[in-house]
């Protein structure tokens, strides 16, 4: 199974692609970032993110996509822009890969380190260790995206292998493909 993990942003969208074999071995395929220039108009940046997502999906043909949910800090203006970028990411993902999962930062930290309030460096260290990497991936957004993918890889296999799955904050909703296609065709 190929899993694409995404760390959302509008300046930098981190991505990490891993493979989970039938024997539960994990292998890093690729990681990196979709970068958008800060001097570009925001709608153009969103279009660049969409194009980048389409290119990643086309290149790696993931069986499932995992996206980190937002965590708001003090700056609500930045949070809104990231939320808009995340919306583009989710919409693009579900159009091409019907297995879409979302995890909170606490869920990711718990999955990777065993402690939901772990520090970023602890998560990066464990991600590097679990995936047998020589160095911590750079940029940090790519390391975070690998952790998101790893979180899904360590999730219940029955959940991942269900027909059409949208997993959000511990709520599981199953839809058959015809329902999703009907919704898509009405747009």
Residues marked active site are found at 7, 68, 141
Let me know if 132 is exposed, middle or buried by CB neighbors in 10 A (0-12, 13-18, 19+): exposed
Sign of the alpha-carbon dihedral angle for 85, 96, 68, 62: negative
In this structure, how many other beta carbons lie within 10 angstroms of the beta carbon of residue 49?
A: 23
The candidate with the shortest Cα–Cα distance to 122, out of 132, 131, 112, is: 112
Let me know if 12 is exposed, middle or buried by CB neighbors in 10 A (0-12, 13-18, 19+): middle
Q: CA-based Rg of the chain, rounded to a whole angstrom?
A: 16
| Alpha-carbon span 148 to 72, nearest angstrom | 18
Quote the distance between the C-alpha of residue 134 and its chain's center. Answer: 22
Quote the distance between the C-alpha of residue 171 and its chain's center. Answer: 17
């Amino acid at each position: 199974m190929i899993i694409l993990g995404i760390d959302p942003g509008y300046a930098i969208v981190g991505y990490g692609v891993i493979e989970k074999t039938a024997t539960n071995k994990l292998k890093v395929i690729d990681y990196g970032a979709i970068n958008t220039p800060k001097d570009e108009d925001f709608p153009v940046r969103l279009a660049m993110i969409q194009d980048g997502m389409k290119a990643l999906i086309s290149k790696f043909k993931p069986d499932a996509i995992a996206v980190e949910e937002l965590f708001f800090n003090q700056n609500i203006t930045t949070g809104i822009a990231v939320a808009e970028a995340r919306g583009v990411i989710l919409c693009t993902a579900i159009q091409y890969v019907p297995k879409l999962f979302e995890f909170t930062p606490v869920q990711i930290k718990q999955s990777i380190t065993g402690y939901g309030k772990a520090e970023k460096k602890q998560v990066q260290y464990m991600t590097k260790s679990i995936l047998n990497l020589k160095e911590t991936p750079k940029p940090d957004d790519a390391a975070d995206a690998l952790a998101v993918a790893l979180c899904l890889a360590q999730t219940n296999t029955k959940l991942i292998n269900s027909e059409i799955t949208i997993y959000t904050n511990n709520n599981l909703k199953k839809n058959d493909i015809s329902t999703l296609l009907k919704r898509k065709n009405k747009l």
